[in-house]
A and B are shown apart, each in its own frame.
Chain A
Amino acid sequence: MRALLTHSTYLLILAACVIGTLPLEVLLHTGVYRRWPRLLAALVPVVVVFGCWDLLAIHQHTWFYARRYLIGVFLPGRLPLEELLFFLVIPTCAVLTFEAVRVRRPEWPVGDEQ
């Protein structure tokens, strides 16, 4: 049980990021998840670019992952599943923050106004 929890550490950190930003969508009505095709359009290039950067860094031994904190699912190139999720979760948190700032400061222009 304890080992399982340790192996879920990275995954739990990512889950905390998702749960922690959920009030922005629910209470501030950021509408980010609601506009999922637009979110996906922003996320896909980020996942590709930063996923490749990660693969390169693993290949060049720039950084290493501690297996005891990972669930143990690896994608081609020894990329931990958690890393792929990181590139989906963190950018989504950033978009949620961005839209939350807009909700609170509607007078600040962004450039996508109709």
Chain B
Amino acid sequence: MSYTLLAVIGAVAAVVLDWAVLRTRLVRRRVFWTTYAIVVFFQFVTNGLLTGLPIVSYNPERIVGPRLVYAPVEDLLFGFAMITMTLSLWVWAGRRAATAKLRASR
């Protein structure tokens, strides 16, 4: 499977995890998109270094072609999937702890 297809599946899977599985629904929240905007800026810096030096290089047969700050566009989806999954799990874990605390106090 190409990196392109995997990256699309990864990004969709992360949103499904957030929306329907953990039900944290961060993608509708301002705090999520503000965080993402900051993170994606720094992704261009660090991933630009990783792919520009290059520490990591890509097989041209497995990517679609266009690049953003040296990195294949697929990396944007890869990063989005990773950030969304992380933040959804972080909020889910926090919500679970808060619920447990509430139950214990009753």
A57 closest partner in B (C-beta): B3
A90→B97 CA distance, assembly (Å): 24
Interface of B is mostly: helix
Interface size of B in residues (CB-CB distance below 8 Å): 46
A46→B95 CA distance, assembly (Å): 18
Write out the residue numbers on chain B whose beta carbons fall within 8 Å of the beta carbon of A63: 3, 56-59
With A63-B58, A111-B25 as contacts: A98 and B95 at CB distance below 8 Å: no
Interface size of A in residues (CB-CB distance below 8 Å): 44
Write out the residue numbers on chain A whose beta carbons fall within 8 Å of the beta carbon of B38: 97, 101
Interface residues of B (CB under 8 A from A): 1-3, 6, 10, 24-26, 29-32, 34-35, 38-39, 42, 46, 49-50, 53-59, 62-63, 78, 82-83, 85-87, 89-95, 97-98, 101-102
